[in-house]
Amino acid sequence: MPLRVVTGSITDLDVDAVVNAANSTLLGGGGVDGAIHRAAGPGLLTECRGLGGCLPGQAKLTGGYDLKARSVIHTVGPVWRGGNRGEDAVLASCYREAMRIARARGLRSIAFPAISTGVYGFPKTRAARIAARTIRDELKAGEEMEVLLCAFSAPDAAILQAALDDLNEEN
């Protein structure tokens, strides 16, 4: 499966698109969102201002500007509220919508951060399982798209890798 875990900053990846775990304004923030905006430069903020924000579970495409990535797919994950308010479905939608945009644009490589696991508080192991399963389900048989799950730290990479390993054992 063309799905693997990498460790480091998503801003350093040379891929067709990086996914930004954005807030609903798309105007930058903390965590990966702030890092992507800082690395991409002011052109990204200017383009995002014209998008009118983004609802949780949806995704929007912009240019990559000063990033190595040619594009940024912004998606807004759910804020964790205990798990019984549709958080899993919204998180899965983030991954599906980003994959849909990548496929529609003919992108061959995409890198995802762990969406909603920072300040939005989504449990990391649960989020990793949703990410792995949703991406696997979205990858079409024979599709030539490389998908990276990017973790900033080794402990987070281990969580993502365990989710992939569990998924592979199911098949």
pLDDT digits (tens, 9 = 90+) for 65-83: 999 999 999 999 999 999 9
pLDDT digits (tens, 9 = 90+) for 16-47: 999 999 999 999 999 999 999 999 999 999 99
pTM exceeds 0.75, yes or no: yes
Characterise 86 by phi-psi region: left (phi > 0), alpha (psi -120 to 50), beta (else).
Answer: left
Q: Which of 12, 16, 33, 88 is catalytic?
A: 33
Q: At what angle do helices 42-49 and 31-40 cross, to 10 degrees?
A: 110
The answer to whether 33 is a known catalytic residue is: yes
In order of their start, the domains of the chain are 3-170 (3.40.220.10)
